[in-house]
Amino acid sequence: MIEEQLLATGPADLPVPAQRPGLLRRALRQTRGRIGLGVLLAVVALSVAGPWIAPHSPYDFVAMPFQPPDAVTWLGADNMGRDVLSRILNGGWILMTMALSATALAMLAGTVLGLVAGYAGGRTDAVIMRLLDVVLAVPERVLVLMFVSVIGANQVILTLATGLVFIPSIARTARAATMDIVRNEYVEYAEAIGMSRWQLLRDEILPNVTTPLMVEAGFRLTWSIGLITGISFIGFGTQPPTPEWGLMINESRDGLLFQPWAVVAPILCIAAFVIGVNLLADAIARAAGRTE
Amino acid sequence: MTAVVDVQGLCVRLSATGEEVVSDVTFSIGRGEILGVVGESGSGKTSIGMTLLGYLRKGAEVSAGEIRVDGTDMRRAPEAELRRMRGAVVSYIPQDPAAALSPRLTIGTQLAETLSAHGRKGRDAAARIAAMMRALDLPDDRAFLRKYPHQLSGGQKQRICIGMAFLLNPAVVMLDEPTTGLDVLTQDSVLRTVRRLCADHQVAALYVTHDLPVVAGVAHRVMVMKSGHIVEQGPVAEVFARPQHAYTRELIAAAPDISCRHHFGRAVPAPATATSPAGPPAAPVLRVVGLDAHYDRRQVLHGVALDLAPGECLALVGQSGSGKSTLSRTIIGLHNASAGAIVLDGETLANLARDRTPAQRKRLQYVFQSPFTALNPRRSVAEAIAAPIRTFGETPDRTRIAELLDMVSLSQRVASLYPSDLSGGERQRVAIARAMATDPDVLLCDEITSALDVSVQAAIVRLLKSLQEERQVSMIFVTHNLALVRSLADRVAVMQGGRIVETGPTDRVLDNPEADYTRLLVEITPSMQPAA
């Protein structure tokens, strides 16, 4: 009799493994997630295919400065008479590469620091977090400006500086999530069998903190776009004649009244990119909050 | 005796799927009577209790039947009427008092709220609260009422919840596993309070639990539930002595009882192990000498000494805070000892697991209390079992994992599943397979069945016994459940306040306890056998 009992609760009727839909899939079940992904894909597609489909070279002077839109220059010309549409199409991937690299850099460093701080605790934790607090104490924009003005105003420095200023917030997220996980008995078990610390962080902890980190990554990507275009706008990032969206706004702002497209077009592109990423990140955050 | 609660043909179903979780349940409770409802997780016992309050969790609905509480038809009563009745006519005592009390309000405020919600305020209310505190054996001075829940012990918190439930002299009280999280001493005092209050105030009580001995001690009648159906109902003594239904017999067979050894369905009595008092004592495989341990400045272990013979099962018992978990964690190397030594087969072990040799770590394995946090949710069962093998530098092959799954009676299909796909009992089996993967000499089990249903607990205990017999694993089994000890352990060590107060063969310690503390523990452990 008890045998039947055992079987009923034991191996006989195992539940069919419920394939839980992944985080991204759950995010895409929401309208905001789908719109976000749609907008993002459109901007990315335009930026990737841009250089091939651009009607003109982004550097050639094809019209009069501030030429309004016509048959040759669909969005008109900028302050130097270059085709706005071609510059938009060529400029996207530069911004995207910078924003993605900065975010990836910050994620990598922030995650490692946060995991180590959260797992080790004690003095290691204190040293890491206080150092990061120093970075956090200075406003992001001011810190990035400091780097690019002291070391050099170019794309690489701007990307590195942007990555650096985002490390503390990512590290904080990773640390908080890690401290929750460390209390679990499976981490204690791994310690009791003497699993190496590196292996423990990689196999036992990291897979369990990816959800909050993915959410964080989405928001950091949004912020880095704003930061990079902002710094480029005031002339400390990408240098002319590179067709970068933030820089383009600055270059053509004198003609805002008689050739608004030279300014409005890059603004719309940046806005679409930011809104797309943000909606998607928000959907991921909601999906994560709902089930885990 | 007039029935205060009268339930006829009650059915509850989930609105989404139409699945019936309670089917055709009929019962009644008279004034001053306590009805125990027993059954395993998911048997619908809590849902039945909640319908008495005119409440069901989201997604469930009463689809048929009649519920009368003190003459009121709970299905048809308007919401305002239900609100008036809850607390005043029918009240509720929750499972987890820590979650039921608001951490930001003093207990005095929370008790007064119960009264003011029903229009009683001022001097009369204060006098009532003071009287209730005296009835609960709690201090009735203002200083105590100004305390916050976190300043009280678990038993005190549960008594406050009981007080809130009885404050308005209700006709019916519904208790939802109110002693599950409490240790045996606290459980005993809480149960006595409940029994006394029900008798004094002539309250009808519905006591929901999965613990059969508790029902035997507290209830007048018992109702056994299985998947939403009543399988048997009757006076407690009658049902436990002569169970009519097969399922009741199974439950009783699965429930360990302190008064006799259960073999959990085994026909053959467990063979006496090498450590029977008669045999020459074998050299201990594990020896703990004068162990001290601290949490910050507070000393939690005071010179603990233990011997564990090869193939022996030693039960470590004591109430919460007695230091039994700290002791097992110190042995495995997760907690730092401040004095003393742990000797494994003649080798003195380093304090922390990391500083021990791989061979030593391999021989000493640990199974944790909670099946829900002991396994990494992102690792499949096969990966979980392979982890210790890999850590000790071997390559886990399929046959080894299949063999381990087989050892804990899990099907091979489990290998590719994740912990979230498994039940609590299955997860605990995986945790045992993982511990057995290194072929240990000593297995430490920390309250590993406390989160499981009785039949699952019985199956796990059977598994441990077979591992002990077939593989000669020595075991330290930490528990606060003396009933389980009788059926599982060869020897018992009783802990109190960080010291071992008594050790000896199981039957001797439980039948003729020497220490006062052991005697107290044995006396208050509820039993299904009529008091001898």
Cβ-Cβ contacts under 8 Å, A204 against chain B: 376
Do residue B411 and residue A203 have CB atoms under 8 angstroms apart? no
What is the predicted pLDDT for the residue at A88?
87
Closest residue to B410, CB basis, from A3, A11, A184: A11
Sheet holding B72-73, edge to edge: B20-30, B3-14, B60-69, B72-73
Using an 8 Å Cβ cutoff, are B21 and B44 in contact? yes
Using an 8 Å Cβ cutoff, are B530 and B237 in contact? yes
Check CB contact of A2 with chain B, cutoff 8 Å. Answer: yes
Characterize the bridge pairing of strands B34-38 and B221-226. Answer: parallel
**Secondary structure (3-state) at A267:** helix
H helices, E strands: number in chain B: 20, 20
Region of B234 (left: φ > 0; alpha: ψ -120 to 50; beta: rest) is left
pLDDT digits (tens, 9 = 90+) for B187-200: 888 888 888 899 98
Is B69's pLDDT higher than 50? yes
Burial label, B286 (beta-carbon count in 10 A; 0-12, 13-18, 19+): buried
**Percent of chain B at pLDDT exceeding 70:** 95
* Closest to A22 in 3D by CA, of A13, A38, A35, A33: A33
Using an 8 Å Cβ cutoff, are B468 and B435 in contact? no
Q: How confident is the model at residue A109 (pLDDT cuts 50, 70, 90)?
A: very high
**Which residues lie across from B242 on neighbouring strands?**
none
Cβ-Cβ contacts under 8 Å, B378 against chain A: 207-208
The CATH number that domain A24-65+73-291 falls under is 1.10.3720.10
What is the predicted pLDDT for the residue at B262?
62
Is A242's pLDDT higher than 90? no
What is the predicted pLDDT for the residue at B444?
92
**Which residues lie across from B344 on neighbouring strands?**
B286, B347
Q: Is the peptide bond before A55 cis (omega within 30 degrees of 0)?
A: no
**Secondary structure (3-state) at B181:** coil
* Closest to B447 in 3D by CA, of B503, B408, B485: B485
* Closest to B187 in 3D by CA, of B530, B521, B531: B521
Do residue A11 and residue B411 have CB atoms under 8 angstroms apart? yes
Q: How far is residue A67's CA from residue A84's CA, in Å, rounded to a whole number?
A: 10
* Closest to B97 in 3D by CA, of B156, B173, B170, B167: B156
The two tokens of residue B320 are 């919460």
Q: How far is residue B458's CA from residue B463's CA, in Å, rounded to a whole number?
A: 9
* Closest to A230 in 3D by CA, of A252, A250, A216, A255: A250
Burial label, B346 (beta-carbon count in 10 A; 0-12, 13-18, 19+): exposed
Q: How confident is the model at residue B431 (pLDDT cuts 50, 70, 90)?
A: very high
Question: CA gyration radius for chain B?
Answer: 25
Phi and psi angles of residue B482, each rounded to the nearest 5 degrees, phi first: -65, -30
The two tokens of residue B369 are 């209390």
Domains and CATH numbers, chain B: 3-254 (3.40.50.300), 286-375+441-524 (3.40.50.300)
Using an 8 Å Cβ cutoff, are A174 and A114 in contact? yes
The two tokens of residue A169 are 């917030």
Tokens 């990554």, residue located = A217
Residue with the larger pLDDT of the pair B452 and B34: B34
Least confident of A43-47, A150-154, B475-479, B507-511: A150-154
Cβ-Cβ contacts under 8 Å, A190 against chain B: 387, 391
What is the predicted pLDDT for the residue at B96?
80
Cβ-Cβ contacts under 8 Å, B249 against chain A: 1
pLDDT digits (tens, 9 = 90+) for B78-102: 888 888 888 889 999 888 887 888 8
pLDDT digits (tens, 9 = 90+) for B161-175: 999 999 888 999 999
Write the single-letter amino acid at B399: T
**Percent of chain A at pLDDT exceeding 90:** 23
Q: How confident is the model at residue B261 (pLDDT cuts 50, 70, 90)?
A: low
Closest residue to B374, CB basis, from A5, A18, A185: A185
Check CB contact of A14 with chain B, cutoff 8 Å. Answer: yes
Q: How far is residue B52's CA from residue B90's CA, in Å, rounded to a whole number?
A: 7
Q: Give me the residue spans of the domains in chain A.
A: 24-65+73-291
Q: How confident is the model at residue A183 (pLDDT cuts 50, 70, 90)?
A: confident
**Secondary structure (3-state) at B338:** strand
Using an 8 Å Cβ cutoff, are B378 and A209 in contact? no
Alpha helices in B67-153 (DSSP H): 79-85, 97-100, 107-116, 122-135, 142-145
Cβ-Cβ contacts under 8 Å, A191 against chain B: 334, 353-354
Q: Write down the ipTM of this complex.
A: 0.74
Q: How far is residue B277's CA from residue B473's CA, in Å, rounded to a whole number?
A: 19
* Closest to B212 in 3D by CA, of B257, B246, B173, B179: B257
Q: How many residues does chain A have?
A: 292
pTM (global) more than 0.95: no
Distances, alpha carbon B35 to alpha carbons A221, B27, B72, B397, B453, in Å: 60, 9, 20, 54, 20
Chosen for mutation from A1, A2, A211, A213 (greatest number of chain B CBs closer than 10 Å) is: A2
- If DSSP states are collapsed to H, E and C, what string results for B214-250? HHHHHCCEEEEEECCEEEEEEEHHHHHHCCCCHHHHH
Do residue A6 and residue B459 have CB atoms under 8 angstroms apart? yes
Cβ-Cβ contacts under 8 Å, B332 against chain A: 192
Alpha helices in B274-380 (DSSP H): 324-332, 358-363
Interface of A with B in 183-202 (CB under 8 A): 184-186, 188-196, 199
Q: How far is residue A27's CA from residue A279's CA, in Å, rounded to a whole number?
A: 10
Do residue B254 and residue A17 have CB atoms under 8 angstroms apart? no
Centroid of chain to Cα B73: 35
Average pLDDT of chain B? Answer: 85
Check CB contact of A120 with chain B, cutoff 8 Å. Answer: no
Q: How far is residue B28's CA from residue B47's CA, in Å, rounded to a whole number?
A: 16
Q: How far is residue A151's CA from residue B339's CA, in Å, rounded to a whole number?
A: 57
Q: How confident is the model at residue A163 (pLDDT cuts 50, 70, 90)?
A: very high
Contacts of B85 (CB under 8 A, 6+ apart): B54, B69, B70, B72, B77
Q: How far is residue B123's CA from residue B526's CA, in Å, rounded to a whole number?
A: 40
Q: How confident is the model at residue A20 (pLDDT cuts 50, 70, 90)?
A: low
Q: How far is residue B324's CA from residue B332's CA, in Å, rounded to a whole number?
A: 13
Q: How confident is the model at residue A17 (pLDDT cuts 50, 70, 90)?
A: very low
Cβ-Cβ contacts under 8 Å, B370 against chain A: 185
